[in-house]
Structure 1
Amino acid sequence: MRDTRESRLLLVLLIAIAFALITVDIRGGEESPVDGARQAAATVFGPVENGVSAAVDPIGNAIKAVRESGDRHTRISQLERENAALKAKLGSDDRNRSRVRQLDKMLKTAGAGQYGIKGAQVIGIGAAQGFSWTVTIDAGANDGLKRDMTVLNGDGLVGRVTTVGPSTSTVLLATDPDFTVGTRMENSDELGFATGQGDRPLSVQMLNGKAKVKKGDRMVTFGSQADKPFVPGVPIGTVVKVDPSDGGLTRTVHLEPYVGFTQLDVVGVVVEAPRTDPRDKVLPEPVKPKPTPTVTVTVTPNANGEYPAEGEGEDAAGGQNPPTGASRDPNAGNAQDDQE
C-alpha cells in the first residue's frame, strides 16, 4: 500500500477502533461484550497456538541459549529465579503431603462411622452473615451440599452448613456461641447439649443432674431427627472440668473439642447419613497408660565374701546404713552426754 492520505486516514481509524474496543473490554470485566468473541477465538486458535508453540519452542530455546550464553549476569538471575520457584514448589509439596495425611485420616473417620462425605477445603475465615466463628469452603450446591449438613474432619465435629451457594458454602463452627449440638457420653449414654464458647472449652448441660461424670470422659453427637443438622456418633471432645452439683435438674461440664479450629484445612460434609447409629465406633482408641517401672535391688558381698546382715549395707538411696543398734539421730550423742 502506498503512503497516501487515504491510507493514513485508514490507519488512524483502525487505531481508534482498537482503543475503543480495549476500553469497552476493560470496563466490561467478566461481562465484556467482546468476551464471547474472545472465547470463540480461543476455541478456534488455541490448538493452533499450541501447535505453533510446540513447533517453534526448540528454535526459540536455542536462540535464547545463544543469546544468554555470553551474559553471565542474566544467567545468574535466571538461576536465582529457578531456585526460588523450586523452593516454592517444595513448600507446596509439603503442604500437599499434609493435606494427604488430613484426607486419609478423615476418610478413616468417615469409614468408621459409615458416613458418605464430600471433601472440601477451607478457603476463608469469617462470613458476611456476621458470625464470628465461621469458615467458607470451596463446595456448594453444585456439589450436592445443602443447608444443615454435618461437617467433620479426621479429628471429629467441625460444625454445620448454614449457607449454600453454587460453588461455596458457609460453615458455622462448633465453637460459636450460637452453636448447639446434642451429646451422648461414651459407655454411660448420658445425654446433654453442648454450646460453643469461642476459644474456651464447650459448655455441656447434662440432662441428668446426678449424672456421674469425670475428667477424661468422652462424648459424641447424639444425632438429630432425619440426621439434620447432625448425624450420630461424631466425636466431639473430652471432659476437662466438672462443675460441682448444686442439686438442680441439670449439671454443667466442660468439653475440650478434638478439632483444632485454628488449623482447619481439609474438611468433609456428610451428604449421606449412616444406616445405623455407629455409637462409639468412631472414637479413637484410648491411650493406655505406661506401666510403672519395677525397681530391682541387688546385694553384693563384701571383701570377705560375706553378705551384709539385714539393716546393714547400702540403703535405698545408695548411702551407707549405720550398724545395728546405732542411732540415726545426730543429736542422740548430745542427749546422752546431757544425761551423764
Structure 2
Amino acid sequence: MRDTKESRLLLVLLVAIAFALITVDIRGGEESPVDGARQAAAAVFGPVENGVAAAVDPVGNAIGAVRDSGERHDRIAVLERENAALKARLGSDDRNRSRLRQLDGMLKKAATGQYGIKGAEVIGIGAAQGFSWTVTIDAGSRDGIQRDMTVLNGDGLVGRVTTVGPGTSTVLLANDPDFTVGTRMERTDELGFATGQGDRPLSVQLLNGKAKVRKGDRLVTFGSQGDKPFVPGVPVGEVVRVDPAGGALTRNIYVRPYAAFTKLDIVGVVVQAPRTDPRDTVLPAKPKPTPTPTVTVTVTPSANGEGQAQGEDQTGDQTRDQTQDQAQDQAQGGDQAQDQDQDQNQGQGDPQATSTAAVTGRDDE
C-alpha cells in the first residue's frame, strides 16, 4: 500500500474510532455496548488463538526448559562446591580436634614432669635420611632446638634430636636399632638399657640378672649426664614378655612402647630439663580393675509346687486322722475284750453256785 494522502487520512480515522470505542467501553463498565462485539470476536477468534497457542507452547516450554536447566545446572554446581567445601571443613575440623587432643596430652605430660618444651609438627619421615627410623620436624636452631635433645609426645618417649637445621630438625625414633636409652623400672627401680627393634617391642637388658619382673611392669627414662640426650622420668613403655633368667648376669625383657611411631603428628622437644627427677609421676594412671559382678539367685515357688505341698499336707492330715481312728478303734476293742472277759468270769461263777445248790438239795433229800 502506497503512502498517499487518502491512506493517511484513513489511518487517522481508524485510530480515532479505536479511541472512541475504548472510551465508550471504559465508561460503560459491565453494561458496555461493546461487550456484545467482544463476545462475538471471542467466539470467532478464540479457536484460532487456542490453535496458535497449542502450536507455540511447546516451543516456549522448550525455551523455558533450556533456560531453567541452565539455572538448575548452575545451582547444582554451586551446591556441589558448597558440599565439597563443607566436607573439607569437616575433615579439617576432625584433624584439628585430633591435633588439639594430642597437644593437650603433651602439655599435660610436660606440666606433670616440669619439662620446658617446644612444640613441633612432623613434616616428613625417614626417606631423606636413609632406611633408619627417623622423622623431620618443623623446628630448628631458630626455635632453640639443639642436638641430643629429648623428644616426647602425649604418650611418652618419641626419640632424640640428631640433626638440626635453621628451620627443621631430624629426630631418631626410639624404635630404631641404633637407638639406646637408659631405663628404670617403676616398681623395683631396676636399671637397664632399651634398644629399638623396628616394628617389634623394645629389647631391654636389665643389669640385674635376678631381677623380679612381671608382665605389665612399666619403665621410664633414667636420665643422662647433664640431661642430654635424655631427661629423666619420661614414660617408655610396659613389659609384654620376660625371658627366663638362666643364671646370666643380665636379663632380657621386651617392652611395648607407649608412643605410636607410625602415626606421629604433634611432638615436643624438651628445651629445658626439670629441676628434680619426676620419678614415676609422668606415667599414665593405671586402669582400675573391673569388679566381678555378684549374681543373686531368687527361688520363687511355682503354682505346681504349692499345689503339691498342699496335697502333701492334706495327705498327711488324712494319714494322721486314720491313725487316730485306728488307735481309737483299738482302744474300744480293748475295752470290749475286757467286758467279755468279765462276762465270762461271771458266767463261770454261776455254774459253781448252781452245782453247790444241787449238792445241797441232794443232801436235803
SS of the equivalent of 1:196 reads strand
Offset of residue 77 of structure 1? 1.9
SS of the equivalent of 1:87 reads helix
In 1, the alpha carbon distance for the partners of 2:244 and 2:195 equals: 19
After superposition, give the CA deviation of every residue in 1:275-331 in whole Å (9 maximum; x if it has no partner).
000000000111121111122232334315969xxxxxxxxxxxxxxxxxxxxxxxx
- Please give the residue correspondences for 1:1-340 in structure 2 after superposition, counting only pairs within 5 Å: 71-301=71-301, 302-304=305-307
In 2, the alpha carbon distance for the partners of 1:290 and 1:72 equals: 59
Paired residue total: 240
- Go from structure 1 to structure 2 and tell me whether the alpha carbon gap of 1:70 and 1:131 turns closer, same or farther (over 3 Å shift): closer
Q: Percent identity?
A: 79
Offset of residue 131 of structure 1? 4.3
Q: Is the 8 A contact 2:187 2:217 kept in 1?
A: no
SS of the equivalent of 1:303 reads helix
SS of the equivalent of 1:226 reads helix
User: Residue type of the partner of 2:140?
Assistant: G
In 2, the alpha carbon distance for the partners of 1:190 and 1:127 equals: 37
- Go from structure 1 to structure 2 and tell me whether the alpha carbon gap of 1:131 and 1:146 turns closer, same or farther (over 3 Å shift): farther
In 2, the alpha carbon distance for the partners of 1:255 and 1:81 equals: 49
Offset of residue 75 of structure 1? 3.9
Q: Is the 8 A contact 1:127 1:170 kept in 2?
A: no
- Go from structure 1 to structure 2 and tell me whether the alpha carbon gap of 1:80 and 1:277 turns closer, same or farther (over 3 Å shift): same
In 2, the alpha carbon distance for the partners of 1:245 and 1:70 equals: 81
More helix by share: 2
After superposition, give the CA deviation of every residue in 1:239-283 in whole Å (9 maximum; x if it has no partner).
000001111110000000011111111110000000000000000
In 1, the alpha carbon distance for the partners of 2:99 and 2:308 equals: 67
Q: Is the 8 A contact 1:210 1:251 kept in 2?
A: yes
Offset of residue 79 of structure 1? 2.8
In 2, the alpha carbon distance for the partners of 1:236 and 1:127 equals: 25
User: Residue type of the partner of 1:288?
Assistant: K
What's the C-alpha RMSD, in Å, of the aligned pairs? 1.9
In 2, the alpha carbon distance for the partners of 1:290 and 1:71 equals: 62
Offset of residue 81 of structure 1? 1.9
SS of the equivalent of 1:128 reads helix
In 2, the alpha carbon distance for the partners of 1:297 and 1:75 equals: 66
Q: Is the 8 A contact 1:208 1:251 kept in 2?
A: yes
In 1, the alpha carbon distance for the partners of 2:91 and 2:128 equals: 31
| Unmatched tracts of structure 2, length 5 or more | 1-68, 311-365
In 2, the alpha carbon distance for the partners of 1:247 and 1:274 equals: 38
Q: Is the 8 A contact 2:175 2:202 kept in 1?
A: yes
- Go from structure 1 to structure 2 and tell me whether the alpha carbon gap of 1:179 and 1:211 turns closer, same or farther (over 3 Å shift): same
Q: Is the 8 A contact 1:201 1:255 kept in 2?
A: yes
TM-score norm. by structure 1 comes to 0.68
User: Residue type of the partner of 2:245?
Assistant: S
Q: Is the 8 A contact 2:211 2:251 kept in 1?
A: yes
In 2, the alpha carbon distance for the partners of 1:240 and 1:192 equals: 16
In 1, the alpha carbon distance for the partners of 2:105 and 2:165 equals: 27
Offset of residue 70 of structure 1? 7.0
SS of the equivalent of 2:245 reads coil
Structure index of larger Rg? 2
| Unmatched tracts of structure 1, length 5 or more | 1-68, 308-340
SS of the equivalent of 1:216 reads coil
In 2, the alpha carbon distance for the partners of 1:72 and 1:192 equals: 71
SS of the equivalent of 2:237 reads strand
- Go from structure 1 to structure 2 and tell me whether the alpha carbon gap of 1:237 and 1:75 turns closer, same or farther (over 3 Å shift): same
Q: Is the 8 A contact 1:182 1:222 kept in 2?
A: yes
In 1, the alpha carbon distance for the partners of 2:164 and 2:131 equals: 15
SS of the equivalent of 2:306 reads coil
In 1, the alpha carbon distance for the partners of 2:170 and 2:309 equals: 81
- Go from structure 1 to structure 2 and tell me whether the alpha carbon gap of 1:298 and 1:79 turns closer, same or farther (over 3 Å shift): closer
